[in-house]
Each structure stands twice: as structure tokens, then as C-alpha cells.
Structure 1
Amino acid sequence: MYEAYYGLSAKPFQLKPDPHFFYGSKGHKRAMAYLDYGLSQGEGFIVITGEIGAGKTTLMRNLFAKLESDKIQAAQIVTTHVDSDDILRMVAGAFGLAFEDASKSVLLNRLEQFFRQCHAQGKRALLVVDEAQNLTPRAVEELRMLSNFQTSEASLLQTFLLGQPEFRKTLLGGGMQQLVQRVIASYHLGPLDAAETRAYIEHRLQTVGWQGTPAISDAAFIAIHAHTGGIPRRINTLCDRLFLMGYLEELGAFDATEVASVIADIQQEFALPEDAAPPPEQEQHGVGNETAIPAPVQTLPVLENMNERLSKMERSVVSILDAVKKIVSTPRARKTPEEEA
């Protein structure tokens, strides 16, 4: 795709979290400092919140890349709306323990024995819970109960909770006081400012060998920040499409005009079709009165893995265009007089 066209060694704006591309903004550095501090304490809970795409998972991948496997036994789970028993099964499975058809008491016993075995080997168990906003209060309470496993001198499990901002509402709700008292550090990861957005883009490009081509104007950087709000995942999505357009149209520079064009294309692709627009309010006549009943609000269906689907579509389009270019550029063989006759 555009990587080869612009002389890049890899795709700079991939959506998959990759510690190789980690950019230490002011917020990300502070969040990482809290995580490092938590590791040094070896107990309690660390809570990191942030908007969707703010870089929480990338932050954790960067932390995992630095962990010493001979000292820390780490496991990560991504939660959905699960009950208290299911969260224990997920934790057991993440640490490689059998959990099928096991009762709650059996799961707790297996987990405690595993944590004690880690301690005997000189290791500490670390559990990372991603998408913590999906946890029910009862599931959060089960995680707190796991923190009760300890020896006379040390805790056997430490837990990092990563979630969207609404997770803080769960923590501030009733019955969470005991867990909150065990939170040794908490940090909210905000968006990048305009200068950081530019530095973030340039960092990712330089990581894959960018030499200034395509050039990106000051106005383009401002337009990218204005549209994405400084959220890294949104920046990646927009810049990936921008570079794809640059490849298809053979551009050597991007200005605000190109950014606006890509934004318009994206908005048009996911706009509600005209024939699917909600109909005007319909009136329903009752006995002795007249009540206007609005039609149900129609919404776009949830598109799972939308970015992955877009990538597949883009690859297909690029393959077709490459094939067309080859056909157009290949000279036709001249017919012989016998063939023309």
C-alpha cells in the first residue's frame, strides 16, 4: 500500500496497540509513572481511565514490555458485562488455571494456591483488567476480595484497572468504599493538545523511516487535531486514510484541503442513507383526544471491527487499482498483416 510508495518500513498508523510506537506525551508519561509506582509498591489497585482510543491499552503494552518475567507473573483480561462468578473464571483462565465446571469456592482455592506458589518462587502476581467500565459492582467486589490473599509480609496479588471515564462512577457508587481505600494511585488519561498531536504523528512516521515525504503543512496538523480532538486512535484512523488518499492520487504533500477531503469521505461513508431517515411524526387519534406519537428513533447498527473492515476494503481497492495500472501501462502487441486480414 502507501508504505512502499512513501518509502516507509511499516504502516505508521496501525490501530493495533504496539509498544514500538509508544509516544510519551505529558499525560502518558504521568500515567506510566503511576503504573511504575504501583509496581514498586507491590500491592493494592492502580486505576487508569481515559476516553475510547486515548491509549490506555498501548500504555499497558508498553508496561508489559518492561516487566521482568522472573519477578512478575502478569495476566490480562478484557471484560464484558459479566457477573461475579464469571469474573473469577476469567481471572483463573488468564493465569492458565482450569476453570470449567468449577464452583466459586474451588476457583478461589485454585487462585490462592497459584498466588502462593508464585510467591514461593519469588514472583508477584499482577492482574490487568481492561475495559473495567463493563464490570458490575459485584464483579468489582470479587476483584477486591482477591486482594485479601496475602502472607504475613506481602500481598499475593496486585490489580491494575483500566477503563473509560464512567468507571469512576462505579467506584464512587455505594458499597465501593473498601476498594477505594485500597487504590494507591489513580490517573485520568486526557487527549493530546495540538502540539502533542503533531509530535505524535511525526513520532510514528519517524519510527518507520519518514524523511519528510509526504510533507505535512502546519494547517494540516491543525485540521487533524481539530477533527480528532487529540485522541490517538482517531488520529491514527484519519492519518491512515490521508496517506492512502495520498498514495492513490500520487500526492507529495498534505494541506488542510486534503485533510478536509478525507474527513468528508469518512463522514459520507457512515452517514445515514436518505431513505433510512426517520419519518415525520405520525398522529394517532384516540377516543376523545388526539395525541401525537413520535416514530421510533432509528439508529445506525453497531459496526463491529469497523476499522478492520475498512482496511480490508482499502486493500481490495488498492489491488484493483494496481491491476488496472498494469493493464493500462502494458503496450498492446501489434497485429500481423495476416491477422488484420
Structure 2
Amino acid sequence: MYFYHFGLRELPFTLTPNTNFYLGLESHNEALAVLFTALKTGEGFIKVVGEVGTGKTLICRKLLNEIPDNFVTAYIPNPYLEPDELRRAVAVELGVQQAQSMSVQLLTQRIQQRLLELNSQGNSVVLILDEAQALPGESLEALRLFTNIETETRKLLQVVLFAQPELDERLAEKAFRQLKQRITFSYKLRPLNTLEVEHYIQHRLQVAGHNSAPLFSRALAKKVAKVSGGVPRLVNIICHKMLMLAYGEGRYQLTNKHLSRAIEDTEGMQNKTSGKFYLISLLIVTVLAGLYFSWDILGTLL
């Protein structure tokens, strides 16, 4: 793979959220500050909304890694669950025994007992849901009822929702007005600006081990920012393909041509009538086939 070609230890632009690459951009730091401040208050729902690819899952993982020790977390990454499934998932995360086999009524009682037990030990409990816009309507209502469990002085369960903007559209409906009123803190992630994209690209390369001359000029990084709209996931996709192209050509400097071809090969960004569509895919296949046959011939000679 190209990381040897460019003197890297690992791939810098993977799509898997990796907190080792966390940069601490203004929008992401503000979101974390809102989350930690809200958790200290011990009240209600907390919501972080952002478009696809703006870094919600990365911030979610950063929160899970850095949340204080006195918090017990229940993390549900895929909340497309009916109310009964949601209750059982929460119960399992909280350590309720035999949660999958007991009745709904008994399960609710055990969850409440577990929350009281954790509270008596000096712990706060937070339920964190990623992709919360996927929650069915009845499950949203079940989630609200969860937060009714409280002592005379505090809620026993806080809920953090990471979601796409579709969640706000759903909460605007009259049926969810009670839940909307319980959202005490909210933050909306924004795309990166041009300077942040430049910093983002250089930071990820540096973390991945690059310490030579810059691979992306400032002018090129500015163009990446423009075509990606400042969405980190799209920045990663474009930069990854540009590095693949340069590697396939044996080059060490990225150019506007690499950017143009990366755009053509990226779903939703390319001109679908272009005869160059899937050029990179073909190039990758050619490069990998060449490497395979080189190793095969070498093995035969040995």
C-alpha cells in the first residue's frame, strides 16, 4: 500500500473514526465542551446534530474515552430498535442479568433497581445513542419515559443523542413536543472552513508518520476544501484517492490532475457522463495485479 511510498506508518485518511487522529478543531472542541458541561448538570437530554461525515461518531468515541470515572455509560451504536429491544439493550449495557428473557414489566423494574444501585454508589449513568435519527417513534417515547426515573434531587439517567438533522425534523412534530422540551443542551456541528481543512490534512499526515516536504500545497488543500464542502469524510475520501493515484504513477507530489481524477471517481461528486469515471478503480486494479504477478514471479525464481 502507498504508506511505504510516502514514508507513512499507517493510512492517514481512513473512514473509520480513530481518536488517535483527533485534531481538536473549534467545532469539535465546542461540541465536547457542551457535552461535558451538560453531563455535570445531571439533567435531561443532550443532543449533538451534524450532517453525514461531519465527525459525530468521532466525537462520540472521544466522549466515551474521556468521560469521568464516576460515569457509567450505556452505549448503543445502532438504535434502530423497537421499544422492547431498546429496553433490553439498555439493560444489557447496565449489567442487568438475564435481561433478554424476563418480561417487560420485570425488566423495567430491574433497570430502575440497577439505576438506584449505581446512584447509591456515587455513579452517574448516561445512555449514549449514535445515529439517533433512526429511532422509531415509539422508541423515542420509550426513551423519554426512561428519564422519568429519578430521586427527589436528581435524574438517574441522562441521554446523549448523536444524530443527523433528520432528528430535528422529527422533534418538530407535535407528537414529540414533550421529548423536545427535555433537551436541555444542544449543539450543531458545522463543516470545516478552508484553513481548518488545510490543518486537518497536514495533521493526519503527521500523525500517520509523514515528516518530509508537504504532499499537499496550500493551493491544493484549498481546492480540496472547496470540492468537499469542508466535510471531513469527503476530505478523507478525496485525499486517499489522490495518494493512490500518485503512488500508481510513482510520484511523490500531488497535483491538480490527481484532485480532478479523485473527484471523478467519487460517488455524488463526479460527472456521471464522463468517460473517465472509475479511472482510479481501474488504476488500483492494475497496480495490485502488477504487484501480485511480481511476487508470483519472484516466488517461482526462489
Do both proteins adopt the same fold according to a TM-score greater than 0.5, normalized to the shorter chain?
yes
Q: Distance in 2 between matches of 1:33 and 1:129?
A: 18
8 A contact 2:12–2:204 mirrored in 1: yes
Q: Which residue of 2 aligns with 1:50?
A: 50
Q: What residue in structure 2 maps to residue 33 of structure 1?
A: 33
Amino acid in structure 2 at the alignment position of 1:26: E
* Change beyond 3 A, Cα 1:315–1:142: farther
1:50, 1:29 → 2: CA distance?
14
Offset at 1:128?
Answer: 0.4
What is the aligned partner in structure 2 of residue 142 from structure 1?
Answer: 142
Query: Which residue does 2:290 correspond to in 1?
Result: 321
Structure 1 partner of 2:131:
131
Bigger RCO (CA 8 Å, 6+ sep): 2
Q: How does 1:69-84 map onto structure 2 within 5 Å?
A: 69=69, 71-84=70-83
* Alignment partner of 1:189 is 2:189: yes
- Label 1:107 to 1:273 Cα distance change in 2 as closer, same or farther (>3 A): farther
Is 1:93 the counterpart of 2:62? The answer is no
Percent of aligned pairs sharing the same letter? 31
Give the letter aligned to residue 77 of structure 2: V
**What is the CA distance between 1:222 and its match in structure 2?**
2.3
Write out the 4+ residue segments of structure 1 that deviate beyond 6 Å after TM superposition.
268-274, 312-317, 327-330
Distance 2:239 2:95 in 1: 39
Which amino acid counterpart does residue 173 of structure 2 have in structure 1? G
1:118 aligns with 2:80: no
Structure showing greater radius of gyration is 1
Query: Is the alpha carbon distance of 1:134 and 1:241 closer, same or farther for their aligned partners in structure 2, counting shifts above 3 Å?
Result: same
Q: Which deviates more from structure 2 when the two are superposed, residues 19-28 or residues 217-226?
A: 217-226
| Unmatched segments (≥5 aa) in structure 2 | 275-280
When residues 15 and 317 of structure 1 are mapped into structure 2, their CA distance, relative to the original with a 3 A threshold, is farther
- 1:313 and 1:101 map into 2 onto residues whose CA distance is 51
Contact 1:6 1:214 in 2 (8 A): no
Residues 127-152 of structure 1, C-alpha deviations (whole Å, 9 max, x = no match): 10111111123211111111111122
Native 8 Å contact 1:53 1:231 kept in 2: yes
Deviations 1:94-115 (A, max 9, x none): 3333332433212211211111
Is the CA contact 1:214–1:254 (under 8 Å) kept in the aligned structure 2? no
Alpha-carbon spacing, 1:141–1:268, altered in 2? closer, same or farther (3 Å): closer
Q: How does 1:1-341 map to 2 (within 5 A)?
A: 1-69=1-69, 71-97=70-96, 98-213=98-213, 215-267=215-267, 319-325=288-294
Which letter does structure 1 place at the counterpart of 2:258?
Answer: E
Q: CA RMSD in A?
A: 2.9
Measured after TM superposition, the shift of residue 209 of structure 1 is: 2.1
Greater displacement, 23-32 / 208-217 = 208-217
Gaps of 5+ in 1: 275-311, 334-341
1:315 Cα deviation from its structure 2 partner: 8.6
Report if aligned partners of 1:6, 1:213 keep a CA contact under 8 Å in 2.
no
Range with bigger deviation, 79-88 or 180-189:
79-88
- The one-character-per-residue Cα deviations of 1:198-220 (angstroms, maximum 9, x if unpaired) are 11111111112222445212332
Aligned equivalents of 2:6, 2:272: Cα separation in 1 = 35
CA distance in 2, matches of 1:106, 1:268: 49
- For residues 169 and 320 of structure 1, do their structure 2 counterparts lie closer, same or farther at Cα, with a shift above 3 Å needed? same
Deviation track 1:151-209 (CA, whole Å, cap 9, x = no partner) reads 22222111101110010012121132322222111111111111111111111111122
TM-score for the superposition, normalised by structure 2: 0.87
Q: Is the 8 A contact 1:215 1:254 kept in 2?
A: yes
